[in-house]
Structure 1
Amino acid sequence: MLVWERPEPPDRPTPAPLSRDRIVGAAIRLADEDGLEAVSLRKVAAVLGVGPMRLYGYLATKEELLDLMVDAVHAEIRPSGDGWREVLRSLADATRRAAHRHEWFADLIGGRPHLGPHTLAGGEAVAAGLDGVGLDLAVPAIAAVNAYVVGAVRREITERRAERTTGMDKEQWQAAYGPYLMRTFATGRYPALAAVVRDGPHPDPDEAFRTGLDFLLDGIEARTPR
């Protein structure tokens, strides 16, 4: 029986009452502050002021805890809108905002399907919003948007982590490596790439995300029945 289906243990009169919601909340706070590597059953139990063995009445493994954490974040993702395009844009924007609030979330999405109640509720909202376009279009459209969001968000989070690790923001990185690129481009071996770097647009992350999403949605729209 999956963790979503198992009832919680009955309440016990203890100095530190427990519930899955309290356990998940403590784990999310640890992950938000110090990343997924900071999350263990022992550390979560310490935050809650209980022994680690008490947590096993509520979940069996750390993997179940991670599933519960992901589903809790999916409660923050509520796609909405009039028409399939607005629904898919809402899905993309809400997922990105959630990953920016919880960077560790980007490490756990995009793999096997998540089946918690909040995740399923979000999936229901998206599927209902695309009901009129037909399953042959809706299914690959949802998959394409999810794949785009996962890739874009992971890149953004990786860049944010790199800034913290190296202590260099984007401008500092460009100042450090720009002279090398200019010397390399001056050799004439990479003319097309040099033109892109020198003359191409360099949007900020928000604009880049919106533009890429518009390209994708335009492609989906081109396949919708007229």
Structure 2
Amino acid sequence: MTVWDRPEPPNPPVPLDRELIITAAIALADEGGLEAVSLRKVAARLNAGPMRLYGYISTKQELFDLMVDEVHGEILPEEQPGDWREALRVVAHRTRRAALRHEWLADLLGGRPTLGPNGLAVTEAKLAALDGLADIDTVMRAVETVSAYLIGVIRREIANLRAERATGLSKRDWQRASGPHMTRMLATGRFPALTKAVHDGTDVDPERSFTIGLDWVLDAVALKLSQPPA
């Protein structure tokens, strides 16, 4: 039985429910990451005894599942765009913005499918956007491909943000500090393609890079959808 199927304890002696527990857990994670979340710490945040939480949540993994589903409520669009590309694009951008608000989400994306109502609704929105455009297996592979791009880029962006905080160096500060080493390495002539990228490539901000890459992935999906079934 999943946590969503298990009823909450009736008539608690003081106000307590899963929604309060989830809200407290998300606040702790926003402040200190997933390592700051435990049933004991959540209980302390709510001025409740830790054992009381076990009536609502059995394990920390269940708590994480509930937290992820709660954030999926922020990702779910209010309206479903009629165009499939725009529908997937909206979900992707909303997912990225949710991960920037809740950086811990990057650590939990891409694991087991979320079975909560919000997570299922987001999955439904993505599948429904492509419904009727191809056979179901093609639709599922298309959604998986977009999701894989999205998760990879989000994790890289969050990792960079964490590195900046850990080192105290912005991206430009790090580039300046590592510049002499890179100059020496490129001067060896062993990395001609990388040298061209460093000298001639255009540096874009994370949001612009995300948008460009997403459009390329959607172009590839569009091409696949236009092909007759094998």
Specify the TM-score bucket, using the shorter chain as the normaliser. Answer: over 0.9
- Out of 58, 61, 65, the position equivalent to 1:60 is 58
Q: Partner of 1:40 in structure 2?
A: 38
Aligned pairs for 1:69-148 within 5 A = 69-79=67-77, 80-134=80-134, 135-148=136-149
The runs of 5 or more residues in structure 2 that have no matched partner are none
Distance 1:184 1:10 in 2: 66
- Check conservation: 1:83, 1:130, Cα contact below 8 A: no
Distance 1:207 1:76 in 2: 22
Distance 2:45 2:2 in 1: 25
Secondary structure at the aligned position of 2:220 is classed as helix
TM-score by length of 1: 0.96
Q: Partner of 2:24 in structure 1?
A: 26
TM-score by length of 2: 0.94
Distance 1:5 1:202 in 2: 48
Distance 2:114 2:201 in 1: 39
Deviation at 1:12, TM superposition (A): 2.6
1:168 has 2:169 as partner = yes
Deviation at 1:77, TM superposition (A): 0.9
- Check conservation: 2:76, 2:118, Cα contact below 8 A: no
| Structure 1, 119-128 or 171-180: larger mean CA deviation | 119-128
Deviation at 1:188, TM superposition (A): 1.4
Secondary structure at the aligned position of 1:9 is classed as coil
Deviation at 1:48, TM superposition (A): 0.1
Structure 1 stretches of 4+ with a deviation exceeding 2 A read: 11-14
Q: Partner of 1:210 in structure 2?
A: 211
1:51 has 2:52 as partner = no
Distance 2:158 2:12 in 1: 41
Distance 1:2 1:201 in 2: 48
Distance 2:22 2:76 in 1: 20
Deviation at 1:180, TM superposition (A): 1.1
Q: Partner of 1:219 in structure 2?
A: 220
Deviation at 1:225, TM superposition (A): 2.9
Deviation at 1:84, TM superposition (A): 1.2
Distance 1:11 1:210 in 2: 49
Q: How many residues align?
A: 224
Residue 221 of structure 1 aligns with an amino acid whose one-letter code is A
Distance 1:66 1:36 in 2: 9
Alignment deviations for residues 59-109 of structure 1 (CA, whole Å, 9 cap, x no partner): 111111111001000001114322211111112111111100100001001
- Check conservation: 1:141, 1:220, Cα contact below 8 A: yes
Aligned-CA RMSD value: 1.1
Alignment deviations for residues 36-72 of structure 1 (CA, whole Å, 9 cap, x no partner): 0000010000000010000011011111111100100
- Check conservation: 1:42, 1:52, Cα contact below 8 A: yes
